Amino acid sequence: MITDYSERLIVQEVSPRDGLQIEPTWVETIDKIALIDQLSLAGFSRIEAGSFVSPKAIPALRDGEQVFKGITRQPGVIYVALIPNLKGAQRALACTADELNLVMSASQTHNLANMRMRCEDSLAAFGEIVHFVQGSKVRLNASIATTFGCPFEGKIDEDRVLQIVEAYQELGIQGITLADTTGMANPRQVERLVRRVQQQVSPADLTLHFHNTRGLGLCNVLAAYEAGARRFDAALGGLGGCPFAPGASGNICTEDLVNLCDEVGIPTGIDLPLLLKLSRGLPALLGHEVPGQLAKAGRNCDLHPVP
């Protein structure tokens, strides 16, 4: 039972989107729906349930419409769809996604690889989307991919990130995600940037999206949390990655994150035994082992019989 909500760490579960987008094996629509329906019972307030992007770019998520229409929506859960352009917004609204997550990279090179557009064109598309959704109840969030480093360009100027935050806000977009697309962030950098961004964005509107590519994912979470951030993306099993970023690998693992929070006393409201059960079902669904560690090791309290 959570009593102090200012301490609460909010996890947005992104395995149905970031997790599945890079999987080489097709996951049946019915299995995607079953996974999301189970995740909906685990205590998440937000689930990124899919994307509405070009089916040629991300064939693994080409069934976004059927997924959004097929899931059983739980009250209190916000179902988010990632979109790159106006067409994506139209598709997402047609199946009543609760929130649109618009994505652009801080790096011009990664944006060209991922979205086949220059950043200016992405921003122009976001303007069209904001205009299009006016009058609807849908929420808007915008992500800055490669915030903490780009696999093509290397370091990203922090002032550039701040300028993009400002550009998003000028468009009227409230939610902001800082995304570490290929796990290049380090805790000191995270703390510094979170403090700067929080001068413009409140903790209720700021999400951190870390990948564990270099093993620093959970260190970065703690650094961001200590700096005041409260919302984090994570994927069951540590799945995930951007197919258009060389060397990309999984998101921080949800059950590893929730375990960390449980152990240090940060409330999340998430049902860890249920997550472990779901995570242990992933290898059968996907045909390979997954990176998450807790599902293999068990929780600290899962003791072994004395030999």
Question: Closest approach of Cβ 162 to ligand COA, in Å?
Answer: 21
Closest CB to ligand COA among residues 42, 236? 236
Sign of CA dihedral 209, 215, 216, 219: positive
In the complex, the smallest distance separating the C-beta of residue 180 from ligand COA, rounded to whole angstroms, is 12
Binding at 15: pick from Zn ion, ligand COA, none (beta carbon under 5-8 Å per type): none
Q: Provide the mask over 8-37, with x wherever binding to Zn ion is found by CB under 5 A and - wherever it is not.
A: ----------x-------------------
Which has the closest alpha carbon to 160: 191, 246, 222, 168? Answer: 168
Q: Is 150 a catalytic residue?
A: no
Q: Name the residue among 248, 238, 230, 231 with its Cα closest to residue 275.
A: 238
Nearest distance from C-beta of residue 21 to ligand COA, angstroms: 6
Nearest distance, CB of residue 298 and ligand COA, angstroms: 32
Which residue lies nearer to Zn ion by CB, 15 or 133? 15
- Residue 265 Cα distances to 9, 44, 137, 294, angstroms: 11, 18, 35, 17
Q: Which residues bind ligand COA (CB under 6 A)?
A: 21, 51-55, 57-58, 82, 84-85, 87-88, 91, 103, 114-116, 145, 242, 244
Q: Cβ closer to Zn ion: 18 or 256?
A: 18
Residue 48 binds Zn ion, judged by CB under 5 A = no
Pick the catalytic residue from 95, 150, 242, 261: 242
Residue placing its CB nearer to Zn ion in the complex, 12 or 93: 12
Residues that bind Zn ion (CB under 5 A): 18
